[in-house]
Amino acid sequence: MRPDLARETAARVTDPELPMLTLHDLGILRDVEVLRSGHVVVDITPTYSGCPAMATMRDDLVRELNGVGFDRVEVRVSLDPAWTTDWITPEGRAALSAAGISPPGPARSMSGPIPLSLSPTARLIYCPQCGSTATELLSEFGSTACKALYRCADCREPFDHVKEI
């Protein structure tokens, strides 16, 4: 029942707010299954609880799969385990950098009590414009819930950083 076609098609769908990333690269595409009936079931994981892009992603998946001949497509939401930026693929990280967005570092451990952090998050990151490590955090909340806003001290350009969760 062409499971490879369904998987490849779903994997090619891009994130509406980070169009340089496929859902596969973003790590939110969890499973694509083609049932005996020809019905396709796609599992995706939300990035943030209130992420407004989820409905668009679902619609995009349905449309693309319809386009290659799968008439019945169901997109399911898997809340567990929660998405982490560690699932962004190496190709996805490279695509973010190429688009001027700093990719996330390793996510902090979320087991047990989460210690209070009163200083700005220390991250070793590179300016995606000039490669300098002299960067300054402007805000932990950037243009979308998943990004922080930085400025490069050398080239003075502001840039987004996908923050670790």
Partner 1 sequence: MDDHDTEHDSAYSGLLVNDAHWAFGTDFEDPLAGVDTTIPEGTDAATLAAYALMLGDDALVMSHRISEWTSNAPDLEDDIALSNIALDLLGQARLLLARAARADESLVPVLPGGSPVPAEDALAYFREAHEFRNVRLAEVANGDFAEVVVRVMLFSIWRLAIWEQLRASRDSVLAAVAAKGVKELAYHRDYAARWFVTLAGGTDESRTRLLTALDSLWPLWPELFDAHEAEVAAAASGVGVDPSTVREAAEATLAQVLLAADVARPEAARRSGVMGRFGRDGMHGEALSRVLAEMQSVARAHPLGQW
Which positions touch partner 1 (CB under 8 A)?
16, 19-20, 43, 46, 48-52, 55-56, 58-60, 63, 74-83, 110, 112-114, 116-120, 138-145, 149, 163, 165
Q: How far is the CB of 155 from partner 1 (least distance, A)?
A: 19
| Rounded Cα–Cα distance for residues 134 and 159 (Å) | 13
User: Least CB distance from residue 136 to partner 1, whole Å?
Assistant: 12
Q: Which is nearer to partner 1, 103 or 142 (CB)?
A: 142
What's the CA dihedral at 156, 153, 109, 104 to 10 degrees?
A: 40
For residues 76 and 156, which CB has a smaller minimum distance to partner 1 in the complex? 76
| CA nearest to 144, candidates 26, 13, 17 | 17
CB of 55 to partner 1, least distance (A): 4
Nearer of residues 37 and 117 to partner 1, judged by Cβ: 117
Q: From the CB of 154, what's the least distance to partner 1, in Å?
A: 21
Q: Which residue is associated with the tokens 């690269």?
A: 25
Instruction: Return the amino acid letter for 151.
Output: R
Q: What is the 3-state secondary structure (H, E, C) of 15-45?
A: CCCCCCCEHHHHCCEEEEEECCCCCEEEEEC
Residue closer to partner 1 (CB basis): 12 or 63: 63
